């Protein structure tokens, strides 16, 4: 008789600056690789892991969902501390819960929340170096929120998808999307049922280009309708982007770890 | 005829992890040294600089006040960007204003605000590594605030001063002192007219020791009266501590930079 196979959902936090992204790649260290190393050290076998998303090189996470199967009987609540002892400083498991056998960190996700942090100041801030995009000219957050509202809804987001994506259906539902200012820090928060390649970074780049006058206000509906990547704004750099939470039926990784920042 | 001597107040932000403190020392790199290097590169002479405080090794700052005199005519508002180009990533000038000739970053200060960040979780958080003290057991912030209130007022703080201080008058006025929780992050904020050697770190250590039961609740008035360092709690580590703002007549460095975090 085999031992019972368990399915575990781990919530991961990481600073992505040193990594080539979540997925294992030939050139460069991936988040998946260091997580598998730690899982192997604790569980005694190297489990395949399912990530909620392929994050790009340099992207950070506050509530990344990851599932793995194991027959090791370690209590779920002990796994974070046990694995953290084997993870580098910039990656940590924040929580672990047992989930049904057919749960999959990616396919079970019903929505995701990303945030993009902008340090809106002409002066460098050591605390946000590598953790927020620095943007000198003062952003008019109220005016940009009027623009950002045009992203909300079910649209074909082809115009906000970088070349290189093989995804065919590019219709996504953006449920909410707004900017908030707290002192010099402007945070863009977007929730949607799915995101195309670089979509959040192009949303941010488009808003910044509207702010700087490179793209006229009111253009977003036309940009979406055009389906033309060249009409949208630039791709904002990776180091401001955070996968902040993943929503699963009945729970989300943000509420599991009870903290967003 | 000599050129006019100007007096400038600079507001500095730094991550203190790599430094031996503000003051120049034989063993180790100081904040003062890298600031003087940058000032020399921009101003063409190496000005003596007056810091608002000697911060310890490893302590961070969000609004450190520093004054220097120069006859260089560079507009004050240009100095931050010019100096930042010559400063390492973990130190930056956030603001610069012209001040009267007799202004001194230390002696003109009427009060200072420190914050101490505690990441209150059993699990490591990559974002707070080196920037907050990690403390596993859940802190009862409301209960600790009742204790912290006993620090408020004009007291002899000898019991909360590390050995090695040569200061004779140890009476200080703590104007406010409280903890706040935001998710897993607990922030201790204290404003006072002056602080003794390690005083804020011992205040935090004492509160944590009350939280863990090592010191009984209600002890703070007696500890203060005793003047006995051994009665107070441990010295919390430097990496959670931030000098957040310095108050000068008519202004404070926090409002100059318009941001606290």
Residue A153 has pLDDT above 50, yes or no: yes
Q: Grade residue A15 by pLDDT with cuts at 50, 70 and 90.
A: very high
Yes or no, beta carbons of B126 and A15 under 8 Å apart: yes
| CA B33 and chain centroid, separation | 18
Q: What is the mean pLDDT of residues B212-235?
A: 97
Lowest mean pLDDT among B58-62, B66-70, B168-172: B168-172
Residue A85 has pLDDT above 70, yes or no: yes
Residue B48 located in a structural domain: yes
Question: Of B61, B93, B108, which residue is a domain's last?
Answer: B108
Q: Is A75 on the interface with B (CB under 8 A)?
A: no
B222 among known catalytic residues: no
Q: Grade residue A261 by pLDDT with cuts at 50, 70 and 90.
A: very low
Residues B156 and B229 in one domain: yes
Residue B251 located in a structural domain: no
Q: What is the mean pLDDT of residues B134-149?
A: 97
Residues B117 and B207 in one domain: yes
Residue B261 has pLDDT above 70, yes or no: no
Residue B258 located in a structural domain: no
Cross-strand pairs, B129: none
Q: What is the mean pLDDT of residues A186-196?
A: 96
Yes or no, beta carbons of A81 and B122 under 8 Å apart: yes
Question: Which residues fall within 8 angstroms of residue B42, CB to CB, at 6 or more apart?
Answer: B72, B74, B79, B82, B83, B86
* Helix or strand (DSSP H, E) at A94: strand A91-99
Residue B253 located in a structural domain: no
Per the prediction, chain A carries an average pLDDT of 94
Taking contacts as CB-CB distances below 8 angstroms, the residues of chain A near B91 are 126
pTM score, two decimals? 0.91
Structural domain tally of chain A? Answer: 2
Predicted local distance difference test score (pLDDT) of residue B178: 97
Mutate to test the interface with B, among A123, A128, A132 (most CBs of B within 10 A): A123
Residues A154 and A34 in one domain: no
Residue B209 has pLDDT above 80, yes or no: yes
Where residue A90 sits, what CATH number does that domain have? 3.30.70.580
Residues B53 and B130 in one domain: no
Residue A165 has pLDDT above 90, yes or no: no
Residue A50 has pLDDT above 60, yes or no: yes
Mutate to test the interface with A, among B97, B259, B260 (most CBs of A within 10 A): B259
Q: Grade residue A259 by pLDDT with cuts at 50, 70 and 90.
A: very low
Q: Is A37 on the interface with B (CB under 8 A)?
A: no
- % of chain A exceeding 70 in pLDDT: 97
Query: Residue B142: which domain range?
Result: 111-244
Q: Grade residue B257 by pLDDT with cuts at 50, 70 and 90.
A: low
Residues B123 and B209 in one domain: yes
Predicted local distance difference test score (pLDDT) of residue B168: 85
Q: Which residue among A37, A56, A209, A222 is the active-site one?
A: A56
Q: Is B81 on the interface with A (CB under 8 A)?
A: yes
Residue A100 has pLDDT above 70, yes or no: yes
Residues B92 and B170 in one domain: no
Q: Is A13 on the interface with B (CB under 8 A)?
A: yes
Residue B259 has pLDDT above 60, yes or no: no
Search chain A and give the residue with CA nearest B185. A259
Lowest mean pLDDT among A94-98, A228-232, A253-257, B240-244: A253-257
Residues A135 and A238 in one domain: yes
Residues B50 and B124 in one domain: no
Question: Of B108, B134, B163, which residue is a domain's last?
Answer: B108
Residue A81 located in a structural domain: yes
Search chain B and give the residue with CA nearest A83. B123
> Which of A92, A121, A184 comes nearest B123 by C-beta?
A92
Residues A61 and A115 in one domain: no
Taking contacts as CB-CB distances below 8 angstroms, the residues of chain A near B94 are 121, 123, 125
Predicted local distance difference test score (pLDDT) of residue A81: 95
CA distance B164 to chain A (A): 31
Yes or no, beta carbons of A125 and B89 under 8 Å apart: no
CA distance A153 to chain B (A): 30
Cross-strand pairs, A50: A67
Residue A260 located in a structural domain: no
Residue B261 located in a structural domain: no
Yes or no, beta carbons of B259 and A91 under 8 Å apart: no
Residue B250 located in a structural domain: no
A114-134 pLDDT, tens digit per residue, is: 999 999 999 999 999 999 999
Residues B132 and B204 in one domain: yes
ipTM over 0.95: no
Q: Is A122 on the interface with B (CB under 8 A)?
A: yes
- The tokens of A162 are what? 């970088």
CA distance A69 to chain B (A): 22
> Which of B124, B126, B183 comes nearest A260 by C-beta?
B183
CA distance B112 to chain A (A): 20
Residues B164 and B209 in one domain: yes
Predicted local distance difference test score (pLDDT) of residue B2: 58
Residues A74 and A168 in one domain: no
Q: What is the mean pLDDT of residues A160-188?
A: 93
CA-based angle B53:B59:B60, to the nearest 5? 90
């Amino acid at each position: 008789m085999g031992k019972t196979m368990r399915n575990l959902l781990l919530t991961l936090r990481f600073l992505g600056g040193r990594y080539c992204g979540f997925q294992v790649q030939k050139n460069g260290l991936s988040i998946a690789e260091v997580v598998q190393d730690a899982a192997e050290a604790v569980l005694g076998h190297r489990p395949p892991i399912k990530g909620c998303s392929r994050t790009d090189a340099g992207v950070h996470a506050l509530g990344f969902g990851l599932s793995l199967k194991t027959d090791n009987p370690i209590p779920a609540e002990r796994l974070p501390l046990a694995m953290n002892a084997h993870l580098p400083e910039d990656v940590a498991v924040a929580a672990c819960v047992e989930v049904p056998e057919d749960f999959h960190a990616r396919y079970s996700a019903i929505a995701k929340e990303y945030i993009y942090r902008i340090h809106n100041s002409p002066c460098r801030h050591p605390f946000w170096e590598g953790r927020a995009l620095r943007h000198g000219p003062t952003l008019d957050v109220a005016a940009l929120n009027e623009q950002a509202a045009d992203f909300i809804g079910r649209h074909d987001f082809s115009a906000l998808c970088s070349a290189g994506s093989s995804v065919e259906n590019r219709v996504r539902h953006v449920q909410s999307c707004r900017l908030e200012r707290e002192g010099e820090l402007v945070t863009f928060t977007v929730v949607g049922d799915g995101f195309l390649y670089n979509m959040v970074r192009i949303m941010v780049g488009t808003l910044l280009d509207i702010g700087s006058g490179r793209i006229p206000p009111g253009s977003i509906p036309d940009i979406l309708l055009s389906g033309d990547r060249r009409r949208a704004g630039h791709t904002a750099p990776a180091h401001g982007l955070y996968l902040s939470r993943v929503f699963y039926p009945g729970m989300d990784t943000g509420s599991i770890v009870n903290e967003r920042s």
